[in-house]
Chain A
Amino acid sequence: MEKIKSNLIEAIKGTYPDAREQDHEGNRLDFYVKKQCVPSILNYIKGEGYIHLSHIAFVDWIEEGEFELIYIVWSPKDKIKIFIRARVDRENPLMPNIESIWRQANTYQREAREMYGIQFEGFEAPNEFVLEDWNEIPPMRRDFDTQAYAEETFFHRPGREDAMDVREAIIERSREEIPDFAKKYSR
């Protein structure tokens, strides 16, 4: 497996010098690439036997002003998953369309368009995917305040105001300190 991985890294870095790899233990391999290279890299690894597009994941890096798209590709022959990670500007998110490589990318790209507002070059599909009559900013973006939206749109039954924070109750019971990273999620 290590040999297959190093061959792949060599081949991809030979063609795309600015691609950066990150080798994980086990059967996983990450590549950080530029967004223009995504279709040609996917085309290349598809020819190498990575024929299954498992998923396209989306991350909203709001602090850095970027979206990250992660193309997860699996080879049934080598039993290795490759993560192709590409970043795109948050203000004008335009990504290359990979529908011609894998037809199932259509579904993921429609999801990205509706939930994050990421556009794809020359991508033709019906506008609505899961949501209906949606007029706000895409709801999975981190600057969309879902609680404020729910409070003004829907009726709420009173009685949840005095709900206790689970963490505080646990601290009282076990006398443990709350870790720093968890503090900002406390009520």
Chain B
Amino acid sequence: MINDKNSQKIVDILQNWARKHSLFVLAYGTGCGAIEIPPTMTSRYDAERFGIRGAATPRQADVLLITGYLTTKTLKRVIRVYEQMQDPKYVIGFGSCTINGGMYYDSYNTIKVLDKYLPVDVYINGCMPRPESVISGIVKLQSLIAEGKANGAAKYKENLDWYRANQKKIIPNWVMPEYNW
């Protein structure tokens, strides 16, 4: 009965509605943007009223916030963190450094375009984005989840070879475990 197309649709809607209201953000900061997260989470801006909370480990988290510039050395760790996370999982690119390099456009060790290496669902621009824009970005992600459009993880699985080729281009010494989802 559940294989019926219409009932699957109803299940999806219910699933997305439930996922939307319980986003666990991994407490992992890569750049200077991580300093905007404590005010977002605490009493002044109180992101918890939108159902957003911090998570301690990648295996318990749903959202990976890339806060600011990402060096090639950190990218290696971020890829490991992202691959350990369980479905459903979403990536938010935070700050102009993840969009086009920002002020580090000519730096020798930071990546410029994040979505070549990881599937990004929402970008928040600004340098730095204020807690208001962080919250508006996460609310945007929630509306994408409700519409069923936040499918970055599925895209990553589909195009894994393309992502791997891009990642290996800047990480020549690839000693990483293969995670089997």
A interface with B by C-beta (< 8 Å): 130-133, 135-136, 139, 144, 146-147, 149-150, 153-157, 159-160
Contacts and interface: CB of A to CB of B under 8 A. Distances in A.
A156 B108 contact: no
A131, A136, A149, A155: residue with the most chain B Cβ atoms closer than 10 Å: A155
Contacts of B166: 155
Given A131-B73, A133-B173, A160-B100, A139 B108 contact: yes
B99 interface: yes
A144 B109 CA distance: 13
21 contacts: A130-B73, A132-B73, A132-B173, A133-B171, A135-B172, A139-B109, A146-B106, A150-B106, A150-B107, A153-B108, A154-B101, A154-B111, A154-B112, A154-B170, A155-B111, A155-B116, A155-B166, A156-B101, A157-B100, A157-B101, A157-B113
A130 B145 CA distance: 39
B45 to A, nearest CB: 29
Main secondary structure of the interface of A (DSSP, over half): loop
Contacts, number: 51
Contacts of A135: 172
Interface centre among A149, A154, A156, A159 (most CB of B within 10 A): A154
A146 B105 CA distance: 10
